[in-house]
């Protein structure tokens, strides 16, 4: 699922699992992982000085076109998670994001995932290139 090369950009986000996110077994429900990925991705983009709201103000949407999650070990209620987001290339039309979820309880990842998003023109609802200023901010972060 992950490319063999080293990521060009890496971001780490922490959050804690809540009671309402767990199932009868006391595990974080599998569908929540995509929500966790979204929160980490949103904060990664914000850290680049380019929040989602700015994309929308510029008439660009970013829908998910592919998602994949591999579950390795459960996360329990009230565990602090570290979600690492990695980028392996500067996006053009698609933004490919990769995720690894850790807790202090386990050295190996609890889950790994990939989410592919497509830059889309809000008016035409057709794919478009990533905004130049988004690319400039990401490139600056990669080069720093």
Active site residues: 23
The structure tokens listed for 132 are 């130049």
- For 47-60, give one letter per residue: b (16+ CB within 10 A) or e: bbebeeebbeeeeb
Detail the DSSP E strand segments found in 42-105.
60-61, 64-71, 80-87, 94-103
The DSSP 8-state label assigned to residue 28 in this structure reads: B
């Amino acid at each position: 699922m992950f490319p063999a090369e080293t990521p060009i950009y890496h971001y780490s986000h922490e959050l804690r699992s809540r009671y309402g996110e767990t199932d009868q077994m006391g595990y974080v429900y599998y569908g929540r992982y995509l929500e966790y990925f979204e929160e980490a991705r949103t904060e990664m983009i914000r850290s680049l000085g380019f929040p989602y709201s700015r994309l929308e103000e510029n008439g660009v949407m970013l829908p998910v076109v592919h998602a994949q999650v591999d579950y390795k070990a459960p996360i329990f209620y009230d565990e602090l998670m570290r979600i690492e987001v990695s980028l392996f290339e500067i996006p053009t039309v698609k933004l490919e994001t990769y995720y690894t979820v850790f807790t202090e309880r386990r050295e190996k990842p609890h889950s790994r995932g990939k989410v592919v998003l497509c830059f889309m023109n809000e008016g035409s609802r057709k794919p478009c290139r990533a905004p130049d200023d988004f690319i400039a901010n990401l490139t600056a972060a990669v080069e720093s």
